Amino acid sequence: MNPNSEVIQHLRKRKRWPVEIDGATVYVRALLESEHREVRKFDSEPESYGFAIGCCLLNDDGTTALSRNPGEEAKTFGARVLAELDLPLDTRAQLCDRIVRLAQVPPVETIVKNSNGTTRHDSPQNSAVPSGV
């Protein structure tokens, strides 16, 4: 697989989603799969919030608002983000809630319901769902 192919680059393009906090709009993106693998190692610890915010908080132009230092461990980056931002807990919760919701895949029933007949589900070869599910 060519990681520089047009299709792969299109899939990796980071979308941004608005989060309104006290009347101001900030933007976040979903975690990348690689970032998700990193944060799962310490997801029950407070630094995981900082890591998610640090990876996903975007400037108005869509660029990353915070950067990891070269060689910085994920947990260390998360702790640094929490310390530097020193956000109110409700603001931190709003940002993290939105980031988590971006990563959730809707149930198959919702996808089928919202497809409006654009996908055929009556044939096993056309089904987006594995036959064992």
Domains of the chain: 13-114 (3.30.2220)
Tokens describing residue 75? 């947990």
Report which residue type is found at 60: D
Report how far residue 67's alpha carbon sits from residue 53's, in angstroms, rounded to the nearest whole number.
11
pLDDT-derived band at 27 (thresholds 50, 70, 90) equals very high
Which residues are CB-neighbours of 112 under 8 A, at least 6 positions away? 119, 121
More confident residue, 6 or 47: 47
Q: Residues 100, 104, 106, CA angle at the centre, nearest 5°?
A: 150
pLDDT, residue 131, reads: 31
Mean pLDDT of the chain: 83
- pLDDT tens by residue, 59-98: 998 889 999 999 999 999 999 999 999 999 999 999 999 9
64: exposed, middle or buried (C-beta count within 10 Å: 0-12, 13-18, 19+)? Answer: middle
pLDDT, residue 123, reads: 39
Tokens describing residue 38? 């990193």
Mean pLDDT of 6-10: 77
pLDDT, residue 5, reads: 79
pLDDT beyond 70 at 132: no
Report how far residue 101's alpha carbon sits from residue 99's, in angstroms, rounded to the nearest whole number.
6
Asked whether the whole model's pTM tops 0.75, one would answer: no
Tokens describing residue 105? 């895949």
Tokens describing residue 78? 């998360």
Mean pLDDT of 100-112: 77
Of 37, 10, 31, 128, nearest to 2 by C-alpha is 10
Q: Helix crossing, 33-40 with 47-56: angle to 10°?
A: 170
pLDDT beyond 60 at 130: no
